Amino acid sequence: MMNTPQLDHPLTGPFWKAAARQELQVTWCGACNHAVWYPRANCPDCGDPLHWRALSGEGLLASWCEVAAGLNPNFPTAYTCALVSPVEAPHIRIVMQLANSPAEKALSCDMPGRVRFIPLQQAAGEPYLAPAFEPYHDDDTACDKQLAPG
Ligand SMILES: [Zn+2]
C-alpha cells in the first residue's frame, strides 16, 4: 500500500510538489480555458495537452462527510472529508480534508472558505503537506459573501 504521495508520478506528482510549496494547482486546458480534474494528460473535450495552473485557494464547500473509519488503516481517523469547488473552476470538485473540527462550526453547502495546507502523516511514511478547506468565520456575511474569480 502506498504510504506517501509519489512526487515523480507523471500525473499526480506536480499536484503534490505544488502542495509542498503550499500552492493549490489543477490541470488546465489552455485551448478550452477551463480546469480538468482529476489530473489527465489530455483535455477530454479537445484533446490538447493539459498544463498545471495555480489557483487562489478560495472556493466553496460543495459537500462533506465525516470519516469515522478510513479505508486506509494507516491514516488516523476521524476527520471530515470535503468536496471543494475552486472559485476559478466552479465546475470541478477537489477532495480534501476539512481544516478545522466540524464541531467548531456548523457547515453548510456553498460555504465560502480558503484552502490551507496541513501536514499529514501515515503510520509509516514521511509527513507531507496536503490541502485542507477552512471555511471563513465571519458568520454574519458568509451566506452573502461573493467570491470573484481571480
Ligand atoms: Zn480543451
Quick: pLDDT tens for 53-100: 999 999 999 999 988 887 777 667 788 899 999 999 999 999 999 987
Distance 63 CA to ligand 1 centre (A): 27
Distance 22 CA to ligand 1 centre (A): 27
Q: Is residue 83 part of a domain?
A: yes
Q: Is residue 19 part of a domain?
A: yes
Q: Is residue 82 part of a domain?
A: yes
- Does this model's pTM top 0.85? My answer is no
Domain count of the fold of the chain? 1
Q: Residue 135: beta bridge partners?
A: 113
Q: How does residue 144 score in pLDDT terms, banded at 50, 70 and 90?
A: very low
Phi, psi values for residue 20, rounded to 5°: -65, -25
Could you list the residue range(s) of the whole structural domain that residue 70 is in? Answer: 13-135
Distance 69 CA to ligand 1 centre (A): 38
Are 27 and 49 a contacting pair, CB within 8 Å?
Answer: no
Q: Hunting for cell 501536514 — which residue is that?
A: 119
115 vs 5: CA distance, rounded Å: 19
Q: Is residue 98 part of a domain?
A: yes
Render the burial of 75-114: b for 16+ CB within 10 Å, e for the rest.
eeeebbebbbbbbbbeebbbebbbbbebeebebeeebbbb
